[in-house]
Chain A
Amino acid sequence: MFGVHKKLERNSIAFVLGVIVVASIGGFVEIAPLFTIDETVEADPDMRLYTPLETAGRNIYIREGCYVCHSQMIRTLRDDVERYGHYSLAVESKYDHPMLWGSKRTGPDLARVGGKYSDEWQAQHLRAPRSLVPASKMPNYAFLDRIQVQPDKMASHLRALRTVGVPYTDEMIENASADTIGQADPDGDLSDGVYDRYGAETNVRNFDGDMRKLTEMDALVAYLQILGQLTDLPDAPGVEPSSDTPSEEDNS
C-alpha cells in the first residue's frame, strides 16, 4: 500500500501525529483531572441507587429523547434555585450513565421534580399534557399505558450498569425482576424485598393507577418521582458544597 513516496508519506504521518498531539492535550487537560479527584463529586455514603423499575423508567426517558426539551441541572443562579430548588450537586448524577443534564429548556428543569406532583397528575400529564397545562408544547405519551415493562430483562441492565461502576449487589441483580414487579405492587409479597434492598424511603406504590398491569407509564412516573430524591445532601443543614463546586465569588 505504502511504499512509493516514502519520504512524503512520512511528512503527512508526522502531520497527522501533530494534529493528534496538539488536539488531545486540550481534552486531556480538562477531562483527566475530573477522573482523579473525589472533590468533583461530594461524598455521600447514603446515596440511593435507582431501583430496577426506576432504571426502566430512566431508559424510557432516554428512549423518548426527553433531554431534548428538559434539563436536569439547576445552575448556581438565584432565579434557577428559586424556581427549581437547591442547585444540582455533582454527586446527584454520580450513577447517571449517561448524565441527562440537557442543554435546552423548552419545558422546565426536572432535576427536582420528584414528589412535586402526585402520581395521578404525572400520569395524566404524560397521557395528555394539554388537559392539565393548556399552553404546553409537550407530545402526548398515552402509548406508554399500552406497553408492558419486561421485568425479566432488568437483571442484565443492572449487570451492565455494575460493569460501568454502579454498585449494585449480587442480590439486587438476582432479584431485579421481582423488585421491578414489587415496587409497583405495594400489597403484594414482593414489595418487602424492594424496601430491604433499596431502602425504606423507596417509593413503593402503583404509579399509573392501574393495578392490572405493569406498564411503561408506571416505570416513567416512578423515575420522575425519584428525581432529586436520591440523596438528602442538598437539604442537610450546614452542608457546604465542596471547594470545587462553582459559586459566584470563587475565582480560583
Chain B
Amino acid sequence: MTHDFFVMLSKSWGLFYLIFLFGIAVAYALWPANKEKFDRAAKSIFHDQDEK
C-alpha cells in the first residue's frame, strides 16, 4: 500500500470506475422495461390522499 500505488489507482482505475458506474446508472434509467415504472412513479405523487 504505497503512495504510488494509491496515486496510480486514483488516476487510472478511478476513471474506469466512474465510466462503469455511469453506464449502470444510464442503463437503468433508460432500460425500456423500466419506462412504465418511472412514468407511474412520476405521477404517483398526485395520488396521495390528504389533498383538500
Asked if B3 and A39 sit within 8 Å, CB to CB, the answer is yes
The number of inter-chain residue pairs (CB within 8 angstroms) is 19
Q: Chain A: how many interface residues by the 8 Å CB criterion? A: 9
Nearest chain A residue, comparing its CB with the CB of B9: A29
A235 an interface residue at 8 Å Cβ cutoff? no
Among B2, B14, B17, contact of A36 (Cβ-Cβ < 8 Å):
B2
Binary flags per residue of A30-51, CB closer than 8 Å to B gives 1, else 0? 1011001101000000000000
A133 an interface residue at 8 Å Cβ cutoff? no
Among A25, A30, A39, contact of B17 (Cβ-Cβ < 8 Å):
A25
Report the minimal beta-carbon distance from A22 to chain B, rounded to whole angstroms.
6
Nearest chain A residue, comparing its CB with the CB of B3: A37
Among A3-45, those with CB < 8 Å from B are: 22, 25, 29-30, 32-33, 36-37, 39
Binding site for B on A (CB under 8 A): 22, 25, 29-30, 32-33, 36-37, 39
A29-B9, A32-B6 given. 15 additional CB < 8 A pairs? A22-B21, A25-B14, A25-B17, A29-B6, A29-B10, A29-B14, A30-B10, A33-B3, A33-B6, A36-B1, A36-B2, A36-B3, A36-B6, A37-B3, A39-B3
A-B contacts, 19 listed (Cβ < 8 Å): A22-B21, A25-B14, A25-B17, A29-B6, A29-B9, A29-B10, A29-B14, A30-B10, A32-B6, A33-B3, A33-B6, A33-B7, A33-B10, A36-B1, A36-B2, A36-B3, A36-B6, A37-B3, A39-B3
